[in-house]
Amino acid sequence: AFRWIRLAARTPVLRTFAAAALAPRYQELRTEALGLRMHGPFGLAAGFDKNAVAIDGMAMLGFDHIEIGTVTGEPQPGNPKKRLFRLVADRALINRMGFNNEGSAAVAARLAARNPVFRTTVGVNIGKTKVVPEAEAAADYVKSTEALAAHADYLVVNVSSPNTPGLRNLQATESLRPLLTAVREAADRTVTTRRVPLLVKIAPDLADEDVDAVADLAVELGLDGIIATNTT
């Protein structure tokens, strides 16, 4: 299905047909969020298009915003296969992907070279490279920010995947505050013509008091939103 979506986006006849048949635009659905104007409220979460290769294909199908990634500072293969399992009876998936992606430099180059066929909002979700120690996480996120911020309508700091060892430790406010501050400063330093909205993505397994602490921190730092939630 993923390959067919990419093919359709590159084929003029299929692109025209699909855009007309599958992606009608209704004025009453137009949405404004994060200071961005979108065709509607329906978006594609990070995890499907990890390397920014199917943006036009997904926009063609009617998604009003598309979040690519998760992208890490360095390329990495992710966890060994098999790593994605469908539970038909439970109507669920088991996700053990592990941030497989081509890395921030490669994804940034692809976004820079993109000639959009369909106008859509593109968010970029960034995470920690697996081999980077927790103490050096901020520098890794900054590397991704410096590469990708200019190509992002909004940025998401992912500190909540269960498939990268130690990543969720970064949700503790004493770790999260300097990390988010560093990313915000890097985005502002990299993109001087506009303010790139910044969000943080949290886990569904946080205790209520930890959710409150992250929310308070988001307000304190002037974040633009919280994405809830990641894989349990």
Asked whether 93 and 84 are in contact (CB, 8 A), the reply is yes
Tokens representing 211 are 């959710």
Q: Are 56 and 92 in contact (CB under 8 A)?
A: no
- Which 3 state secondary structure label does DSSP give 35? coil
**Paired strand residues for 76:** 101
Which member of 104, 144, 160, 161 is catalytic?
Answer: 161
Look-up of token digits 């999260």: 176
Concatenated DSSP letters of 31-88? EEETTEEES-S-EE-TTSSTTSSSHHHHHHTT-SEEEEEEEESS-B--SPSP-EEEET
Q: Which residues contact 211 (CB under 8 A, 6 or more apart)?
A: 202
- What the block records as the tokens of 51 is 């390397």
Retrieve residue 112's tokens. Answer: 């820079």
Query: Is residue 185 a contact partner of residue 228, using CB atoms and an 8 Å limit?
Result: no
* Catalytic residue flag (residue 161): yes
Name the DSSP class of 202.
Answer: E
Catalytic residues: 161
